[in-house]
Amino acid sequence: DAKTTQPPSMDCAEGRAANLPCNHSTISGNEYVYWYRQIHSQGPQYIIHGLKNNETNEMASLIITEDRKSSTLILPHATLRDTAVYYCIVRVNFGNEKLTFGTGTRLTIIP
Amino acid sequence: ETGVTQSPTHLIKTRGQQVTLRCSSQSGHNTVSWYQQALGQGPQFIFQYYREEENGRGNFPPRFSGLQFPNYSSELNVNALELDDSALYLCASSLGRGGDTQYFGPGTRLTVL
């Protein structure tokens, strides 16, 4: 079973920041938070991951709370191409650890 | 740098047949993981191969089997196809024994009639 909870759907206006929340209240100390997105019928696309510090790359920012029980993925200037299902996943970074996907958040960018 | 590729893109089979799906890993990656994604659901882990050996398996029956070759490409074989095997099959490659970030291919859409 997925160890994360996400809202099933969200809307965001084009050009605005999209903030996608994720709850992972049972996360262990050695588990990372990963975000992937899946545009309709394509393979999931890796976005970003982090352990406890906030992270930023060319696609997004990841804000992890101090207690690590929740996080927020931020897309700073959403475009129509950001419409997708976004998955928040927690996993350790060793061994044969698989990705356990939940149902994700369906983000719709509104023109 | 070449990304993860999969073939074929689409496939139609009938119940009871066998199918082989192929995956070429990203350049430099030695680990391949396979996932099944039914319509409307998130991907489910099937198994993982690291340096030509199975390195973990999800809750799938033995008729789902795989191979990894010396060049780290991989095959997923499904015998005795059932209607419920209709799904998007995804492979993901990573560097190291499964712990690194996994990068996905575009998937193979399998329809079983």
CA distance A69 to A63: 11
Query: How confident is the model over A16-57, as pLDDT tens digits?
Result: 999 999 999 999 988 999 999 999 889 999 999 999 989 999
User: Hey, is the C-beta of A2 within 8 angstroms of any chain B C-beta?
Assistant: yes
Q: How far apart are CA A25 and CA A38, in angstroms?
A: 24
- C-alpha span between A46 and A38 (Å, rounded): 9
Q: What is the per-residue pLDDT for A97? A: 76
Output the pLDDT for position A62: 98
* Alpha-carbon gap, residue B61 to B43, rounded angstroms: 17
A102 inside 8 A of chain B by CB: yes
> Is residue A3 very low, low, confident or very high in pLDDT (cuts 50, 70, 90)?
confident
Tell me which of B104, B110, B111 to substitute to probe the interface with A (most A C-beta atoms closer than 10 Å).
B104
What is the structure's pLDDT at A67? 94
Asked if B33 and A102 come within 8 Å (Cβ–Cβ), the reply is no
The chain B residue lying nearest A86, using CA atoms, is: B42
> Residue B46: left if φ>0, alpha if ψ -120 to 50, beta else—which one?
alpha
Residues above pLDDT 90, as percent of chain A: 80
Here the tokens at position B104 are 């996905």
B74: left (phi over 0), alpha (psi -120 to 50) or beta: beta
What are the mean pLDDT values of chain B's consecutive 10-residue runs (113 residues total)? 89 98 93 94 94 92 96 96 98 81 95 98
pLDDT at B12: 98
Q: How confident is the model at residue A92 (pLDDT cuts 50, 70, 90)?
A: confident
- CB-neighbour burial class of residue B18 (10 A; exposed 0-12, middle 13-18, buried 19+): exposed
